[in-house]
Amino acid sequence: MLVKDAMRREVVTVRRSTTLKELIEIFHKYTFHTIPVVEDEKIVGIVELEHLLRIFQPHPAHIHELLKSVPFLEEEERNIFELEVTSEMAMLCLVDDIMERKFLTIGEDATVQEARRLMKLHQTQRLPVVDKKNNLMGIISLFDIILSVFKEKGIY
Partner 1 sequence: MNTIFSLGIILLVGLFAAKILRQIKFPAVTTYLLLGIIIGPHLLNFVSPGIINSSGLISNIVLSIIAFGLGQNFSKEHFKKIGKSVLTISILEAVGAWILVTLALFFILKQQLYLALLFGSIGAATAPAATVMVIREYRARGTFTNTLLGVVALDDAWCLIIFSVSLAIARALSLHLGANILLLKIFLHTFGHIIGAFLLGGIIGILLNWLGRFVKTRADLLIITLGSILVTAGLSILLDFSVLLANMALGTVLINLKKHNYGFFEILHTVDTPLFLFFFVLAGANLEIPLLPKIGVIAITYFVFVVVGKIAGASLGAHISKATGSVRKYIGLGLIPQAGVALGVALIAKASFPEVGNFIFATIVTATIIFELVGPFATRFALRKAGEIEGT
List residues near partner 1 by CB under 8 A.
58-60, 62-63, 65-74, 76, 102, 104, 117, 120-123
Instruction: Indicate the DSSP class of residue 94.
Output: B
Instruction: Indicate the DSSP class of residue 45.
Output: E
- For the bound state, the minimum distance from the C-beta of residue 120 to partner 1, rounded and expressed in Å, comes to 6
Tell me the one-letter amino acid at 133: K
Yes or no: say if 146 and 6 are a contact pair by the CB < 8 Å rule.
no
Nearer CB in complex with partner 1: 22/131: 131
Nearer CB in complex with partner 1: 26/89: 89
- For the bound state, the minimum distance from the C-beta of residue 50 to partner 1, rounded and expressed in Å, comes to 14
Q: What is the distance between the alpha carbons of residues 122 and 49, in angstroms, rounded to a whole number?
A: 16
- For the bound state, the minimum distance from the C-beta of residue 121 to partner 1, rounded and expressed in Å, comes to 6
Q: What is the distance between the alpha carbons of residues 48 and 8, in angstroms, rounded to a whole number?
A: 18
Nearer CB in complex with partner 1: 25/39: 39
